Each structure stands twice: as C-alpha cells, then as structure tokens.
Amino acid sequence: EDFESYFENARKYKELMPSVVGMPAMDAIALLENLQVNIKVKLNGNGTIKKQSVVKHQKLEANQTIVLDAS
C-alpha cells in the first residue's frame, strides 16, 4: 500500500489504526495526527517505520499513545 491508500483509509475510518510500517516517519506521524481521535505519537529513531505498537485496524481510544519504531 502507498501513502494515497493510507490517506484514503484514514479519511474513511478515522478511529481505526492504519498500517504505517514502511512509511517515512514524518508521513506516518502526519497521517496519525490527522485521525479524528486525539492520540499521542512517540517516535523511536528516524527514517522508515519498521514497527508500530497498535495493530492495523484496531480501534483507537482517546489519549492513547502509539509508539513507532523507525530506522
């Protein structure tokens, strides 16, 4: 999947966690910050996202922290 398909899914399902693995870290953070749920994003490292703490399609809760590991 590419950024456009992630962005399209994010607009449709604004409370579900998208898969950001493989995305540039800054794109992943921008995508997550534009979801309708007020979440916190913690980034470990920089570069491309290798791992995310919340699985794809899981419903996000308000004030939840999502940890992204990048390298």
The confidence band for 28, taking pLDDT boundaries of 50, 70 and 90, is very high
Q: What is the pLDDT of residues 10-21, one digit of tens each?
A: 666 678 898 999
Q: Which domain holds residue 47?
A: 3-70
Closest listed residue to residue 35, CA positions, set 6, 55, 68: 6
CATH number of residue 53's parent domain? 3.30.10.20
Percent of the chain with pLDDT over 70: 86
- Domains of the chain: total: 1
For 8-60, the DSSP string reads HHHHH-TTBPPP-TTSBHHHHHHHHHTSSS--EEEEESSSBEEEESS-TTPBP
What confidence score (pLDDT) does residue 2 get?
Answer: 65
Model pTM above 0.75: yes
Q: What is the pLDDT of residues 42-59, one digit of tens each?
A: 999 999 999 999 999 898
| Distance between CA atoms of residues 69 and 48, nearest Å | 8
What confidence score (pLDDT) does residue 12 get?
Answer: 66
